[in-house]
Amino acid sequence: MSLKSMLEAAARGGTVEVTDGWTQGRAIYGGLTGALLLASIKGRLRDAAGDGSGSPHPLRSFTVSFIGPATTGAVEVHAEILRVGKNVTQCQATLRQDGALVATALAAFGKHRESTIVVPPRHPMPELPEPGTIEPFPYIEKMTPEFYRFLALRQVGGALPFSGAETGDLSGWAQLRETPEEFHEEHLLVLADAWPPATIQMLSGFAPASSLTWTLELVAEIGPDTIPPEAVFAYEATTDASRDGYAHTHAMLWGPDGALTAISRQTITVFG
């Protein structure tokens, strides 16, 4: 199934057949997991609205907890609406495989409100070479994550994973290789989790690492009216702290207009 077909199946709820090529190690790529959970939630909201409109408010925050590894093949996705308030709608979704819970997500949608507080983003978009001047990471069988065949990541700052680097920061450009008909919040989720955990470049040799929790906070509205389907996003990640086998990072994504689009925060397990 294509990404479009998987997202459409998730929006209907029930069984989704995750196609080969979307793995990261032994598990389904986390960005795809998040996108399937969000698609399920938005599908549930559309069903509840009865008119196909879905949530009346933009997505503000999306948090995923990766409970266990899911492999390609059939997964079961289910969403429920927790509360519909005047200003905020909150939902939950779960992903199961072979009866076991493998991921859960919470989504918060909130309407625009008048406020006297306006704080411009403190971190400007980094100065990066033009995307077309940088070759994206290639997909190399058994060497790079399989999902690299679907995403074009062009690294500028930082080092390669497991290279013994002194920094836990990285930057670059991210884009879908296959341009969707329209760009939605689900596509941003696919892109936002695409980079290797920033911290693992500090390891001097291979060691397992994986996301434990991931939260994407949307600063700007994402949709066909604001983001072109061929959009390239600037990305910059910082390792805030790491100890006792857990690393804590935050990353920022800037859209084609140079405006801050989203903030990504992760807790990462590091076995090395």
Please give the Cα distance from 271 to 25 (Å, whole number).
15
The pair of three-digit structure tokens given for residue 245, joined into one six-digit string: 């086998």
**Predicted pLDDT of residue 26:** 82
| pLDDT value of position 209 | 86
User: Exposed/middle/buried for 255, CB within 10 Å: 0-12, 13-18, 19+?
Assistant: buried
**Candidate CATH numbers 3.40.190.10, 3.10.129.10, 3.40.50.300, 3.40.50.970; the one for domain 1-112:** 3.10.129.10
pTM of the model: 0.95
Measured CA to CA, the distance from residue 43 to residue 38 in angstroms comes to 8
Q: What is the mean pLDDT of residues 249-262?
A: 97
* Residue from 26, 25, 36, 30 nearest 1 by CA: 36
Evaluate if residue 52 carries a pLDDT over 80.
no
Residue pLDDT, tens place only, 128-147: 999 999 999 998 887 888 99
CATH of 121-272, one of 3.40.50.720, 2.60.40.10, 3.40.50.2300, 2.40.160.210: 2.40.160.210
- Would you place residue 208 in the very low, low, confident or very high pLDDT band (cuts 50, 70, 90)? confident
Task: Calculate the alpha carbon distances from 98 to 5, 16, 141, 171 in Å.
Answer: 21, 13, 27, 37
pLDDT at 29: 95
Average pLDDT across the chain, whole number: 94
Residue 60 has pLDDT above 70, yes or no: yes
Q: Give the confidence band of 54 by pLDDT, cuts at 50, 70, 90.
A: low
